[in-house]
Chains A and B, each alone.
Chain A
Amino acid sequence: MLSEERREKILRRVEPLLRAVDPDVRLIDVILDSTREQLAFVMQKGEWPIVVGLNWLDYVSHRDDELREQLAAGLARRLEKARSKPAEEEP
């Protein structure tokens, strides 16, 4: 689990990048898995939660513009998938 300080730092870096990609998307949290290899950015657009994965090494090695591009691609994929099956998860 990320320390509070590290978590805040990541959120501070990613939030403006994400706002530039899609201003309607709200970044909620970031999670690091137990292998410490994979980050998961939890966002929400309206009611719908979106989770975009990112390799930890990519996060630390990428420049901001590269990171923004990667987040934009991941977000587009998730939104595309969400559009293709909007009613599937209705209880």
Chain B
Amino acid sequence: MLPRVKRFLLGSPLRTTELHEQKLSKKAALTVFASDNLSSNAYATEEILLVLMAAPALLHYAFPISICIVALLTIVVLSYGQLIRAYPSGGGAYTVAKENLGVGAGLVAAAALLIDYILTVAVSVAAGVAAIVSAFPVLLPYRTLLGALAIAILTLVNLRGARESARAFAPPVYTFLVTIYALILVGLYRSGEASGAPPVTAPGDAPNLSQLALIFLLCRAFAHGCVALTGVEAISNGVQAFQPPVVRNAQITMYIMAVILGSLFLGLSYLATEFRILPKLDGSETVVSQIARQVFGVSVPGWGLLYYLTQFSTMAILILAANTSYAGFPRLASILAADRFVPRQLANLGDRLVFSNGIIVLGMAALALIWAFGGNVHALIPLYAIGVFLSFTLSQSGLVVHWLRSHEAGRWWRFGLNALGALTTGLVLLIIAVVKFQEGAWLVVVAVPAVMLLFWKTRRHYFELQTELTLSDFEKPRVARHTVIVPVPIHLNRVVLTAIEYAKSISRDVIAVTVNTGEAKAETLLHNWKKFVEDVPLIVLDSPYRSVARPLLRFIGEIEDLRPDDKVTVVLPEFVPKRWWHNLLHNQTSLILKGALLFRPGIVVTSVPHHLGGTRVTQGREPRHAQ
């Protein structure tokens, strides 16, 4: 039943040889890797305006600030183009920082990126759900549930495979691009009419700002607008997801993404300034919605449809922005797993040739965040951009060192480009850290080291395991004695005799042991034992306090201590009921013993299961199973 459900939801397993067919074209990769980055157009301009509203006289700085951010985007993207060229195997900031600045720096970048990916899913889904709730307020009580549903769908689609997710998410991404470009083009055409309108003033008095406060406010607006750059690094982490030639395709896709992002961002910021749009502090309508309402109008048939199309595609891309993380997180986690910093299962390719475990972990972590914060995005956002710029700065700094060590032609201009990238992103990181510190950026100080600690603990575990299991000082397997203990119930049955048969087949030293709690006469058991089992001693222990497990475990320990060269195996006769609820009708002594013996070094535990009702016994002899 379960395999059928799995196949229905995820599709049939793919052969390893089909991995190449799962690689993405530029067009498909754009929808997978760029949705996070492009979706930031939905709120980046609004973030700038929200800060500038504190001094309405500065609102016209929104467009120049946007130009600065696009300039920064250009530097970052060109720098990342070099990163893709230098590290075509992927891994992005983690690999570059680790190889050039040391493992510590690499782990800082990895921790920042992993946190950022989880936050991206949580924030994007919460923002998308908020858009739906704004349109249909009746859904407000179900906000968390809707978020969970969206994450479940995203997880499921991504588990189906990279190409399937690209195919599923392409229509909303391209609809968003078409509608926003249409909005900008029509808006530019109509901006002439709006430019004559009286200037709009923000609510409240304009404060009389000192020069220092003015600079701080502009820096703050810039820092808030930098959310537009989130997701730029995703392509560099997933270079290997592209069809060959991977480097060229990944670079071109990233440049296309940057051109689209830059043009949309500048267009929306320009229109917001031209139409004198102000963010609504009560959150009742977004800046993009206000622009679309003014440009298209809602009352005019046809144009009104375009308005709603813009809104719905914005909502869709906000939710799909999470998809970029579904592409980035599992890949980065798989690289970390290969280096033993996270559990090795995260490096396994699943049935559909995607890193299924990473996808599931991401979904669960984002779900936990949505649940913990009740779908409130504002509490999560301050952590968001700082992680991205931390990884930007580390990767660019790593590339600076890389080019210094390199001997290839053109290394000096590449060095200059990455040095510029490192300096600018480092400066922006500093600005974001200062202006957003009180808003919650301090959380990074806690979260990043905590994740790094987990990395080191995991690595240490694998190292210790490897050291312990090494063959370097191992000579040859010794010939050891072997004693088998079979715990038997006070009432003899077929399952016990099957277990005794099995025990005798693996050792000449078999001891049966039972615990007499006083509920039945041990004489009957001894009588039956002599009748059915002639050559295995049966030890009858008394239990004055009626515990079965305690005397048994102690006896096993005593036998184990008897000789230093003795291996002890405990063979547990077990019956497996036909129905799961039949388990409730039995004592589960075997289960208790198994659990208690699991952590006892040097003792092997073997179950001899008997499946009740599974096989008809016709001649009185049991089929034997051992596991």
Contacts and interface: CB of A to CB of B under 8 A. Distances in A.
Max chain A Cβ within 10 angstroms of own Cβ: one of B481, B483, B553, B558: B558
Contact of A44 (B483, B542, B553, B592): B542
B172 to A, nearest CB: 56
Contacts of B424: none
Which size class do B's interface residues fall under? 20 to 34
A49 B558 contact: yes
Contacts of A90: 550
B551 A1 contact: no
Contacts of B592: 91
B372 interface: no
Interface of B: 481, 483, 508-509, 511, 535-537, 539-545, 547, 549-551, 553-555, 557-559, 561-563, 592-593, 595-596
B554 A49 contact: yes
A44 B250 CA distance: 74
Contacts of A49: 539, 541, 551, 554-555, 558
Contacts of A81: 561
Given A51-B555, A91-B549, A42 B595 contact: no
A18 to B, nearest CB: 16
Interface stretch (A8-16, A32-40, A57-65): A32-40
Interface string A36-58: 00101010101111110100000
A26 B540 CA distance: 12
Interface of A: 1-2, 26, 28-29, 31, 33-35, 38, 40, 42, 44, 46-51, 53, 78, 81-82, 89-91
A82 B524 CA distance: 32
Contacts of B541: 28, 44, 49
B554 A53 contact: no
Nearest to B562: A53
Nearest to B600: A89
14 contacts: A28-B541, A29-B537, A33-B509, A42-B555, A44-B542, A44-B551, A46-B544, A47-B551, A48-B551, A51-B562, A82-B554, A89-B553, A89-B554, A90-B550
A53 B562 CA distance: 6
A28 B539 contact: yes
Contact of A31 (B481, B537, B563, B596): B537
B556 to A, nearest CB: 8
Contacts of B557: 89
B558 A91 contact: no
A35 to B, nearest CB: 8
A81 B536 CA distance: 28
B507 to A, nearest CB: 8
A61 B147 CA distance: 81
B447 to A, nearest CB: 39
Contacts of B539: 28-29, 31, 42, 49
Nearest to A31: B537
Nearest to A33: B509
A34 B592 CA distance: 30
Contacts of B595: 91
B559 A51 contact: yes
Nearest to B589: A91
Contacts of B540: 28-29
A89 B509 contact: no
Contacts of A29: 537, 539-540
